[in-house]
Structures are given as structure tokens and as C-alpha cells.
């Protein structure tokens, strides 16, 4: 009898993204370990959030099925695969060293049935890994996949703490990476020190994007830095601004003043 899938379940694996799967039942709770069918084969994941009826799912895309709750044997096999993948990572790194390939190995992962071994690596350019594939297939006797990722994905996978002292945003909750430009730092009146503005991936910090729209709104109607302003009949240069506390620094050869926006620009007093 053909199975009838009436619910959508949300499952995540090692990352924070919740993937959608069709399910016969909605009898799953957050954190439950389940077996799902993926393009890589059957895999073990965790229920990320409460499921919904299929008729409330408004995305036009085919879904793979959630097969069942994970058994004790499958959970044990998952942990065994995890340990074996560590060993595979060491062996693969040794093969890369022997072949003198310019690639930075990040992670190794077995599918649940151990029919496939996936190695994730970062590299600046394309790598000719045909000889490496032969060596790995001989070492592990299963299908081998070599997956190249960029520096942002590498930072997400490796994890760590940012300069703010908190877990990296990319590791904690981000799944998609939008473009971050130096103009966002300019909008926030930050010093254009690339080293300080760059994250562990070596690219501009993703957090510059988070508040960009708010800073654009806060700067509406304000003059540009280094422009001339007149205060109490004297001409000054606008040397810096803090749009959060609404304070400006103005200076000339004789004087330096720190003034609130309301003192310097009374016409902005009612600005939201």
C-alpha cells in the first residue's frame, strides 16, 4: 500500500538550518532523533521544530520522506561512524600531504550506512584531486566525495569566538551569507581598518550587515563627516558623530566641542 504523507516535519543535522521532510505522522517532539531519506542516502537528524499539516506547506518543491524514529542500534552506529570519520580525516590529511595538494581539509563524515564518505575542504583555487580519489577509494573501500567550500562556510564549520567574545554568528544561527560591503562600515562611521572589520574567515564581518538599515535611517538628514557647520556664529569642521547617543564632535583651530544633535541642529530635534 502506498504511504500517505499528511504532515511536514522539520529536521536539522549538524548545522542550524531546518530542512523539510514529508511525514506520515506528527507524533514527533523537538529533539527527537529520526531517520530521513536524503540525496546522500539515509541519515540521522533531530526534529528542529513542531511539524505542520501538509496543506499548510506553501512551498512548491518535492520532499523526501521522514522514515522513522532512530533506534538504539542506529544511534550507536551514528556514534561509531563519528569516531571512524575522525580516523578517516587523519588518513586523508596524510594522503594530501604526500600528494602535496594545496587544500585545507576541514571535516570527514560517513553516511549512516557507511556506503559513502564525504570529505570537506577549503582551497583558494580548483584542485586536481583525481589521484587523491584513487588513494582514498583504496583506503576506505566505499564511495568518496570531496566537497569544496568557501572561507565563510569553513569558519561556520570550524566555529569559535568572535572579537565580541560570543560564538560566531555563522556557527550559531546563520545559514545563508549575503554580500557585505565596505560601504556598510562607512554607514556606521567605523574606522576603515580592514583587519578589525574582518572576521575569522578573513572577509568582512557579517554583523556589519545586521544593523546597516538602522544606521541608514539614523543618519537621514545629517551632514557628512568633515563638512563645515556653523555654531554660535563660528565655523567648525564636523570631525565625528555617534548616531546612537546622538552626539557630534566639531572642531576648528581654536576650539573643540562635543554637542548633542539637538544643540547643534535644533531643526532635527523632532526627528524620529
Q: Could you report the average pLDDT of every consecutive run of 10 residues in the chain (272 residues)?
A: 83 83 92 91 91 85 91 94 94 94 91 91 86 91 89 78 84 78 87 85 86 87 87 88 89 89 74 47
* Residue 270 pLDDT: 52
The 3-class SS string of the chain reads CCCCCCEEEEEECCCCCCEEEEECCCCCCCCCEEEEEECCEEEEEEEEEEEEEHHHCCCCCCCCEEEEECCHHHHHHHHHHHHHHHHHHHHHHHHHHHHCCCCEEEEEEECCCCCEEEEEEECCCCCCCHHHHHHHHHHHCCEEEEEEECHHHHHHHHCCECCCCCECHHHHCCCCCCCCCHHHHHHCCCCCCHHHHECCCCCECCHHHHCHHHHHHHCCCCCCCCCEEEECCEEEEEEEEECCCCEEEEECCCCEEEEEHHHHCHHHCCCC
Q: State the pLDDT at residue 76.
A: 95
pTM (predicted TM-score) = 0.68
pLDDT confidence of residue 269: 57
- Predicted confidence at residue 271, as pLDDT, reads 47
Domains and CATH numbers, the chain: 7-70 (no CATH), 75-149 (3.30.300), 155-216 (no CATH), 228-268 (no CATH)
Predicted local confidence at residue 272, as pLDDT:
47
How high is the pLDDT of residue 46? 94
Amino acid at each position: 500500500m502506498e504511504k500517505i504523507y499528511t504532515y511536514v516535519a522539520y529536521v536539522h543535522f549538524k548545522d542550524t538550518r531546518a530542512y523539510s521532510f514529508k511525514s506520515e505522522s506528527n507524533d514527533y517532539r523537538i529533539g527527537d532523533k529520526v531517520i530521513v531519506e536524503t540525496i546522500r542516502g539515509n541519515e540521522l537528524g533531530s526534529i528542529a521544530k513542531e511539524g505542520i499539516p501538509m496543506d499548510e506547506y506553501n512551498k512548491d518543491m518535492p520532499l523526501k520522506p521522514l522514515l522513522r524514529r532512530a533506534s538504539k542500534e542506529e544511534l550507536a552506529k551514528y556514534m561509531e561512524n563519528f569516531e571512524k570519520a575522525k580516523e578517516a580525516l587523519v588518513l586523508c590529511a596524510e594522503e594530501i600531504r604526500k600528494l602535496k595538494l594545496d587544500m585545507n581539509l576541514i571535516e570527514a563524515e560517513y553516511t549512516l550506512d557507511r556506503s559513502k564518505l564525504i570529505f570537506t575542504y577549503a582551497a583558494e583555487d580548483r584542485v586536481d584531486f583525481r589521484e587523491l580519489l584513487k588513494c582514498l577509494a583504496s583506503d576506505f573501500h566505499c564511495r568518496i566525495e570531496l566537497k569544496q567550500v568557501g572561507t565563510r562556510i569553513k569558519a561556520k564549520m570550524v566555529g569559535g569566538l568572535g572579537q565580541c567574545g560570543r560564538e560566531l554568528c555563522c556557527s550559531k544561527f546563520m545559514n545563508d551569507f549575503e554580500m557585505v560591503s565596505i560601504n556598510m562600515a562607512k554607514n556606521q562611521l567605523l574606522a576603515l581598518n580592514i583587519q578589525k572589520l574582518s572576521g575569522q574567515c578573513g572577509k568582512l564581518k557579517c554583523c556589519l550587515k545586521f544593523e546597516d538599515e538602522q544606521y541608514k535611517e539614523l543618519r537621514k538628514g545629517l551632514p557628512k563627516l568633515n563638512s563645515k557647520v556653523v555654531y554660535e556664529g563660528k565655523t567648525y569642521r564636523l570631525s565625528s558623530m555617534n548616531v546612537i547617543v546622538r552626539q557630534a564632535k566639531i572642531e576648528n583651530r581654536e576650539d573643540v566641542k562635543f554637542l548633542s544633535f539637538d544643540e547643534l541642529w535644533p531643526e532635527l530635534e523632532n526627528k524620529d
